[in-house]
Structure 1
C-alpha cells in the first residue's frame, strides 16, 4: 500500500528522494538485483524511514512503474486522427526518441520489467496499453485504407517505432561503444535516419488507390 494521499512537505520530499533513488537502482540492477538497503543508501535515508513510506521493494517498484506507464503513453495519446497521417507518425517517432534521450533510466526500468515477464504491470499492459494501441491502430489502418499512408500492419508499425526509438536508451552503452568518442550524441543522426526510414516506408504512392479497411 502506498502512503496516504494527504502528505506533508517533508513526506512529499522523502517520497521524491526514494523514487529518484529507486529509479537509479532498479534501472541499473533490475528488480531482482536491487535491494531496499541499496535504495535507502542512495536516498540518504535510514531503512526504517524508507519502509515508513513503502513497506517493501515491490511497493516501490510498482509505484515507479505505474507512474512511468502514464508518462510513457503520453506521446501515443497525442497521435490524432485529424492530423496529416505522415506528420502524425513522424511526430510520434520524434517524441519517443526524445523520451529515450531525456528519460533513459525510465526506459531501462520498463524494459527490465518486460524482460522479467511484466509481473507488476501485466494487467496494465493487457488493459490500458492494449486499449490505447487498439485505438491508434484503428486510426492508422483508416489512413492506410484511404490511401493516405502506404499499407502496413499498424500494430507492427507501432512495435517497430518502440524498438527503434527505445534502443537508444536501453542499449545506450552499446550505441556509444560502437559509434565511438567522435560521435558522443547519437540522437540528431538517429532522428534524421528514422525520419527518412518511416517516410520512405509510409509515404503513399500516387498510383496506389485506396483499399478497403479489413
Structure 2
C-alpha cells in the first residue's frame, strides 16, 4: 500500500510546487507590468521581483507575451466571477448592487491587475485585441441582455445597457487605477475599512437611484 501511495503523493507535491511557483511569478509580473508597462518590463526584472531564477520563468511562461496575457486574463477572470450574482439576481438593485460591491473589492485587493488592463487598453490593446473582440465582447453582450430584461420587466429606467456597463467599470476601477490620487486626496493615506464601506454605499446609492432600480 505504501508503494502505491508514494507516486500519488509525489505527483500532488509536484503539482503544489508548480502552483506556488506560478502564483509567485504572476504576482511579480502583475506588479512589474503595472509599473513598467509591457514594453518596459523584462523577464529578468520579473524574476528579480519574484526572487526566482530567470530560467524558472521561462519554464512556466516561454515568452514575456505569454506571461503578460496570463496576467491580463487572470484579472478578467476575477471580474467575470464578480458578475455571477449579476446573472442570477432577480433585479438590478440586487444584481448591480452586488456587482459594484464585488468590483470595488477587487480594485481594493488587485489594484495592479486593474492597472495592467487599463494601460493595455489605453495603448490600443496591442497584445490582447483578440481577447477584447471575442471574450470581452461576448461577455458584454450577455450582461446587456440581462439589463434589457430588467428594463422590459419595469425594474429600472430605460437606459442604454452598454453605457451603464461602461459607467460601472469606470467607477469601480477608478479606485484601483487612480488609487494614488485617492490616497493623496485622503491626506496621503489609503482608504480605511470604514471608508471603503462608505465608498461602496455611496457608489451603489448614486448609480441605483440614477437608473431607477426598484429591486
- Give a deviation string over 1:150-171, Cα, whole Å, max 9, x none: 1211110011000001000000
Quick one: which of 4, 12, 15 aligns to 2:19? 12
Quick one: which of 118, 123, 127 aligns to 1:120? 127
Quick one: which of 196, 199, 205 aligns to 1:187? 196
Q: What is aligned with 1:162?
A: 169
TM-score normalised to structure 2 length: 0.83
Gaps of 5+ in 2: 1-11
Q: What is aligned with 2:61?
A: 54
- Give a deviation string over 1:169-197, Cα, whole Å, max 9, x none: 00000011112147743422321221221
Report the CA distance shift for 1:138/1:81 in structure 2 as closer, same or farther (over 3 A): farther
Q: What is aligned with 2:205?
A: 196
* Aligned length, in residue pairs: 200
In 1, the alpha carbon distance for the partners of 2:161 and 2:212 equals 14
Q: What is aligned with 2:49?
A: 42
Per residue, is there more helix in 1 or in 2?
Answer: 2
CA drift at 1:82: 5.1
In 2, the alpha carbon distance for the partners of 1:112 and 1:201 equals 29
Report the CA distance shift for 1:204/1:112 in structure 2 as closer, same or farther (over 3 A): closer
**Once superposed, what is the RMSD of the aligned Cα atoms?**
2.2
Q: How does 1:1-214 map to 2 (within 5 A)?
A: 8-80=15-87, 83-181=90-188, 184-185=191-192, 186-203=195-212
Gaps of 5+ in 1: 1-5, 206-214
In 1, the alpha carbon distance for the partners of 2:30 and 2:142 equals 30
Range 75-84 or range 27-36, more displaced: 75-84
In 2, the alpha carbon distance for the partners of 1:159 and 1:45 equals 39
1:180 alignment partner, SS class: coil
Report the CA distance shift for 1:148/1:109 in structure 2 as closer, same or farther (over 3 A): same
